[in-house]
Amino acid sequence: MKNKRPEGIEQYDRPAGGWDALKAVAKTLAHQQIVAQGSKTLLKANQPEGFDCPGCAWPDPKHTSSFEFCENGAKAITWESTAKRVGPEFFEEHTVSELWKWTDHKLEDAGRLTVPLRFNKESDRYEPIDWEDAFEIAAAGLNALDDPNHAEFYTSGRASNEAAFLYQLFVRAYGTNNFPDCSNMCHEATSVGLPMSIGVGKGTVTLEDFDHADAIFSFGHNPGTNHPRMMATLHEASRRGVPIIVFNPLKERALERFAAPQDPIEMVTLSSTPIASAYHQLRTGGDLAVLKGLMKAIFERDAINLAAGGSGILDRDFIAEHTSGFDELRGDIENTQWDSIIATSGLTREAITSAAEVYINVKNVIVCFGMGITQHANGTENVQQIVNLLLLRGNIGREGAGIAPIRGHSNVQGDRTVGITETPNRALLEGIERAFGFHPPRNHGHNAIEAVEAISAGRSKALVCLGGNLAVAMSDPETTFAAMRKLDLVVHIATKLNRSHLLTAQTSLILPCLGRTDLDTQETGPQSVTVEDSMSMVHASRGFLKPPSELLKSEPAIIASIAKATLGDRYGIDWEGMVANYDRIRDKIQVVFPEFSDFNERVRVTGGFRLDVAASYRRWNTESRKANFLLAPGLDEDPLLTEPDALVLTTIRSHDQYNTTVYGLDDRYRGVFGRRDVIFMNKDDLAGRGLKDGDLIDIRGLVEEDEAEHLVRGFTAVEYNIPKGSIAGYYPEMNAVMSLRRYDRRSGTPSYKSVPVLVAASPATS
Ligand SMILES: Nc1nc2c(c(=O)[nH]1)N[C@H]1C(S)=C(S)[C@@H](COP(=O)(O)OP(=O)(O)OC[C@H]3O[C@@H](n4cnc5c(=O)[nH]c(N)nc54)[C@H](O)[C@@H]3O)O[C@H]1N2
Ligand SMILES: Nc1nc2c(c(=O)[nH]1)N[C@H]1C(S)=C(S)[C@@H](COP(=O)(O)OP(=O)(O)OC[C@H]3O[C@@H](n4cnc5c(=O)[nH]c(N)nc54)[C@H](O)[C@@H]3O)O[C@H]1N2
Ligand SMILES: [Mo]
């Protein structure tokens, strides 16, 4: 007899994609009450004349004019273009204390914000306010600070290039480099690690390179959920017979099998295409060991080949001409023993060697990776070891090969390119001076963790957020929430209500803005914005829907107005002129960043243009002028994990969420329906603790001695196919067990994917 599973937990046997994906979209459209308009909206996503889908940063194919079906893109779009509204009546009905008790899902699901709001402490309510008053209040709050470095300016990666550029200009003219940014919690390990290795913090491949790849390696990303349009590429590659080698502790369905909704045969015959040719379920955090193991196997094969009189299997010409540090790398890998590689990775030597064979036996290899690589204490090292692996056979800077960090938010890469960074380099500072004639601050500002620390310590007094949900996205909500409540001034520029907005300060403003899908009309007519995808392609995006309220302003307009109110005529910056016509913002972008030359002309060409990624042409902008093999000595275990019984918790996204935005409670591909309060565990880890499938458990984060308890109670243990010692739970619920001190020391990226925890039965059940 089959054991009874916990409520809402099922075996989901179907491939990813397919009819269930179409059904899910129909359900979303109905829920957001926009059936007629919504379906038309979907057809304009990622089309030359349409808007850039706010769902992910995967590039658009160059030669398609047909609609690219994407379930989660459809959710992102309908979530924004919903018919539901959050206006003055909503806030008359609900106090902030009452809203605080709502779930994250319910808060955002209430609909689009329609009026500027100011929090009134007496009534415990947000109340409508005039735009002009809002700008004056924000300006007065910022100007009241003793030092501009006492303010923090957060950016979430949906902001367009134009909005982000004006924002960084405003903040630098105001006088600080405090730019905490969602990227600090995401691909920062990439942005810090890659420049040291290859001289540029971006991926080196284009979408066309996938057509020429002979093997694709995938580490720690879940494209079926988070980048569904990537499935078209993987599906096509698999059908061409390209081996796809996956390293992921969880068997993600889309990486196993996928039925392309675009493929009439798969849809009609209910068939699907296998994606991974080999699926390696490594231990969470075992990537460094795997990467070193792959290199060790390659060196071993090379030695055998040389001994047999061959010329070796490394690209020795490339290594000699283009790289530095090869001997040191080889020494490090020789010193790393198979025993520790096997123990840390949880994979057998045979498994690792077989993957290395695939790598050796083909010419062109692309390595893709996501948060499973970056969100670890050694995230930067992980990224650099991926580069090492690629360099060994010259797999960077030629067609069909390279490194492909799969970015998160749709314009997170572009925001960085146009100046959202707490560590400005010389080119950026000189560019601003050239374009605007003032000396921007040079000192390093705060990243996301440092910003929360500064607020928590009372050093920073004001926080401006260009989108996002910083308090919920960050580790350790208890500390972060308390910190936010101590602020003098908070300004949120947002489309929808979320929990961060309810952490009210002395003065709190919510300024509602247009989204990607909305028509943006300024003095000179309808405007387009631009975005940069994961592969450095820059293109235009134009919304076309009637905005949810006549009162809404665009992000550039809001930023320019705050800037004008705060700075007056300082440095003679023409804020109004730039907002009247976004071409003028782009003209300035091109003065600051010469790679945007002829920006307005080039972005008007269908498909846009690619920003120069020097490493794609084997030009290495590193100090050595070479690509550097960099070392990650040892395979050190986290000291907290040496505690007996410690498990490594990884935090993941469900199929029904966009970061802190929870669309719904299903995680279809993992067989979870109607709930998120579950922890996936290996059956031995359950048994070893006297637990079974369905038991209620408490999860305690292991923290340093002087830290407060980090405990969550009453989650349901679900027996799952995950390596022993590794457990998984959903972000953001599990952020409560994570200390703010846990982050990659090189990049500042929180180690959301390797949280040491203890699991025990909930007292309620024992
Ligand atoms: N629909 C939707 N799309 C999104 C988002 C969303 O929330 N929803 N978020 C956007 C953003 S901001 C981002 S950054 C991206 C995130 O996209 P992903 O990088 O795919 O994000 P995660 O869900 O965090 O999952 C990472 C994957 O890593 C695996 N993993 C966990 N720990 C490890 C490990 O130690 N090693 C390895 N090798 N793998 C591991 C998990 O099992 C999971 O499959 O997606 C973007 N797109
Ligand atoms: N435990 C754990 N924590 C994590 C992660 C993890 O994997 N595990 N992932 C991290 C990652 S990769 C990231 S990127 C961060 C995400 O952190 P954020 O980027 O801060 O969070 P989001 O949930 O994407 O922000 C959602 C909010 O953005 C606003 N918004 C949506 N569209 C727009 C728009 O067009 N304009 C404006 N102005 N506002 C808009 C809405 O108000 C919405 O509530 O979380 C990080 N936190
Ligand atoms: Mo992200």
* CATH number of the domain bearing residue 750: 2.40.40.20
Q: Which of 108, 226, 649 to mutate to test the pocket of ligand 1 (most atoms within 8 A of CB)?
A: 226
Residues with CB under 5 A from ligand 3 (ion): 186, 408
pLDDT score at 204: 98
pLDDT score at 1: 47
687, part of any domain: yes
Q: For 264-271, what is the mean pLDDT?
A: 86
Name the pLDDT band for 451 (thresholds 50, 70, 90).
very high
Q: Which residue would you say has higher pLDDT here, 30 or 241?
A: 241
pLDDT of 346 higher than 70: yes
Q: Whose CA is nearest to atom 31 of ligand 1?
A: 372
Weakest-pLDDT range from 49-63, 282-296, 716-730, 742-756? 49-63
pLDDT score at 38: 53
pLDDT score at 294: 98
63, part of any domain: no
Ligand 3 centre to CA of 565 (Å) is: 32
Q: Whose CA is nearest to atom 17 of ligand 1?
A: 226
Average pLDDT, the chain: 94
Q: Whose CA is nearest to atom 10 of ligand 1?
A: 408
pLDDT of 657 higher than 90: yes
- Which of 542, 576, 597 finishes a domain? 597
Domain that holds residue 157: 85-186+415-597
Nearest to 537 by CA among 613, 610, 612, 615: 610
Q: Tens digit of pLDDT for each residue in 164-193?
A: 999 999 999 999 999 999 999 999 999 999
- Does ligand 2 have an atom closer than 6 angstroms to the CB of 731? yes
What are the Cα distances from residue 662, in Å, to 50, 53, 63?
Answer: 26, 18, 33
Is residue 442 located within the same domain as residue 457? yes
Q: Which of 105, 415, 469 to mutate to test the pocket of ligand 2 (most atoms within 8 A of CB)?
A: 469
pLDDT score at 36: 46
Q: Residue 77: CB partners within 8 Å, gap ≥ 6?
A: 38, 41, 42, 45, 53, 54, 55, 517
What's the burial of 753, exposed, middle or buried (CB within 10 Å: 0-12/13-18/19+)? buried
Question: What whole-number distance in Å separates Cα of residue 606 and Cα of residue 300?
Answer: 48
The binding-site residues of ligand 1, defined as CB within 6 angstroms of any ligand atom, are 55-56, 72, 186, 219-222, 225-227, 247-250, 252, 284-285, 287, 370-372, 408-409, 650, 652-653, 657-659, 753
User: What percentage of the chain exceeds 70 in pLDDT?
Assistant: 96
Q: Please give the number of the atom of ligand 2 that sits closest to the Cα of 659.
A: 23
pLDDT score at 766: 47
Q: Which of 222, 472, 533 to mutate to test the pocket of ligand 1 (most atoms within 8 A of CB)?
A: 222
- Which of 373, 405, 437 finishes a domain? 405
Q: For 414-438, what is the mean pLDDT?
A: 97
The tally of domains found in the chain comes to 3
Name the pLDDT band for 33 (thresholds 50, 70, 90).
low
Residue 17 pairs in a beta bridge with 259
Weakest-pLDDT range from 59-63, 496-500, 756-760? 59-63
pLDDT score at 713: 97
Question: What whole-number distance in Å separates Cα of residue 205 and Cα of residue 47?
Answer: 22
Q: Whose CA is nearest to atom 14 of ligand 2?
A: 182
Question: What whole-number distance in Å separates Cα of residue 123 and Cα of residue 232?
Answer: 52
626, part of any domain: no
Nearest to 386 by CA among 399, 400, 404: 404
Is residue 181 located within the same domain as residue 199? no
pLDDT score at 482: 96
79, part of any domain: no
Q: For 343-348, what is the mean pLDDT?
A: 96
pLDDT of 66 higher than 60: no
Is residue 590 located within the same domain as residue 492? yes
pLDDT of 35 higher than 60: no
pLDDT score at 48: 62
- Does ligand 2 have an atom closer than 6 angstroms to the CB of 495? yes
pLDDT score at 69: 76
pLDDT of 572 higher than 90: yes
- Does ligand 2 have an atom closer than 6 angstroms to the CB of 203? no
**Residue 665 CB neighbour total at 10 angstroms:** 17
pLDDT score at 43: 67
Q: Which of 52, 191, 225, 416 to mutate to test the pocket of ligand 1 (most atoms within 8 A of CB)?
A: 225
Is residue 339 located within the same domain as residue 462? no
Q: Tokens 């349901």 sit at which residue? A: 716
Q: For 422-446, what is the mean pLDDT?
A: 97
Is residue 751 located within the same domain as residue 656? yes
Name the pLDDT band for 258 (thresholds 50, 70, 90).
very high
Question: What whole-number distance in Å separates Cα of residue 262 and Cα of residue 103?
Answer: 35
- Does ligand 2 have an atom closer than 6 angstroms to the CB of 513? yes
371, part of any domain: yes
pLDDT of 531 higher than 80: yes
What are the Cα distances from residue 285, in Å, to 274, 374, 381, 711?
Answer: 26, 10, 12, 22
Q: Which residue would you say has higher pLDDT here, 56 or 526?
A: 526
pLDDT of 684 higher than 90: yes
Ligand 2 centre to CA of 501 (Å) is: 13
Is residue 196 located within the same domain as residue 171? no
CATH number for the domain spanning 235: value is 3.40.228.10
Q: Whose CA is nearest to atom 42 of ligand 2?
A: 496
Ligand 2 centre to CA of 606 (Å) is: 29
Q: Please give the number of the atom of ligand 1 that sits closest to the Cα of 250.
A: 42
624, part of any domain: no
Predicted model pTM: 0.96
pLDDT of 507 higher than 50: yes
pLDDT of 19 higher than 90: no
pLDDT of 356 higher than 90: yes
Is residue 505 located within the same domain as residue 523? yes
Is residue 668 located within the same domain as residue 728? yes
pLDDT score at 65: 46
Ligand 2 centre to CA of 661 (Å) is: 7
66, part of any domain: no
CATH number for the domain spanning 504: value is 3.40.50.740
Ligand 3 centre to CA of 182 (Å) is: 6
Q: Which ligand is nearest to the CA of 534?
A: 1
Is residue 286 located within the same domain as residue 382? yes
pLDDT of 40 higher than 70: no
Ligand 1 centre to CA of 98 (Å) is: 32
Weakest-pLDDT range from 72-86, 130-144, 276-290, 734-748? 72-86
Ligand 1 centre to CA of 508 (Å) is: 32
Is residue 181 located within the same domain as residue 198? no
Q: Whose CA is nearest to atom 22 of ligand 2?
A: 468
Ligand 2 centre to CA of 656 (Å) is: 14
Q: Which residue would you say has higher pLDDT here, 640 or 259?
A: 259
Is residue 399 located within the same domain as residue 426? no
Name the pLDDT band for 61 (thresholds 50, 70, 90).
confident
